[in-house]
Amino acid sequence: MNRTKRRIFTTAIKLFAQNGYESTGIEEITAVAGVAKGSLYYHFETKEELFDLLLEEGRKLLYNSIEIKFRSCNNALDKLKAIIMIQIKSLIKYEDFVTVLINNTLGDNTRSKKSQKALDEYMGKIQEVIQEGIDEGIFYDGDTEGIAFGIFGVNFSSLLYRLKKNRNVTAEEIYKSYIEIVIRGLTKASN
């Protein structure tokens, strides 16, 4: 992605997160990005195309991180710990992306359905790891979907806490604050 396209893209994410997708106009994006309207339309035909790229880029970043980390994991427990840490780091580093995604999951419009699909695909990754742990005999049998959403919810709540209380808390501090509880609740033996 060239610099102008990247500038438009990152500006749009920030504005979508601050003001909401519907309330952010093309004129505002171009003004804040410092580019002409024609430059935006050269790179993106519509505002919806910007949103689609946001989902795709976020998906790639997250899935690439997971794939790389999984190469050094020996079992489902290691994979779950890796996913939790990656998710925390992603929530912190890509806060605007997460805000846009979550804000657009409710509703029945095309954008909401795309956001719901992206979130469901990610939850599916977590469910696979949980099922793998159940199959390996490491985790208690349970509702993998409920567990996956619970893990995501705890991580997301940690981000909200961070934003409200102390913006300087690290991913490692958030991770340590609840990983043992999550692992203790899922595993059959102390790992």
In the predicted model, residues of the chain with pLDDT beneath 70 are 158-159, 162-163, 165-167, 189-191
Whether 65 contacts 90, CB under 8 Å: yes
**pLDDT score, position 189:** 64
Q: Which of 166, 147, 91, 152 is nearest to 122 (CA)?
A: 152
Token pair in block for residue 94: 């890509």
pTM score of the predicted model: 0.82
Q: Which of 168, 140, 170, 171 is nearest to 65 (CA)?
A: 171
Q: Which of 12, 3, 99, 90 is nearest to 48 (CA)?
A: 12
What is the residue type of 156? F
How far, in Å, CA of 163 to CA of 5, rounded? 29
What is the residue type of 24? T
**pLDDT score, position 163:** 65
Helix axis angle, 26-33 to 3-19, nearest 10°: 120
**Structure-token match 């580093």, residue found:** 93
The helix/strand/coil state of 55 is: helix
Residue ranges covered by each domain of the chain: 1-45, 52-186
**pLDDT score, position 191:** 47
Q: Which of 1, 2, 9 is nearest to 40 (CA)?
A: 9
How far, in Å, CA of 171 to CA of 159, rounded? 9
Question: What topology does CATH give the domain 52-186?
Answer: Tetracycline Repressor; domain 2 (1.10.357)
Buried b (16+ CB within 10 A) or exposed e, 64-96: ebbeebeeebeebbbbbbbbbbbbbbbbbebbb
Task: Give domain 1-45's CATH superfamily.
Answer: Homeodomain-like (1.10.10.60)
**pLDDT score, position 24:** 96
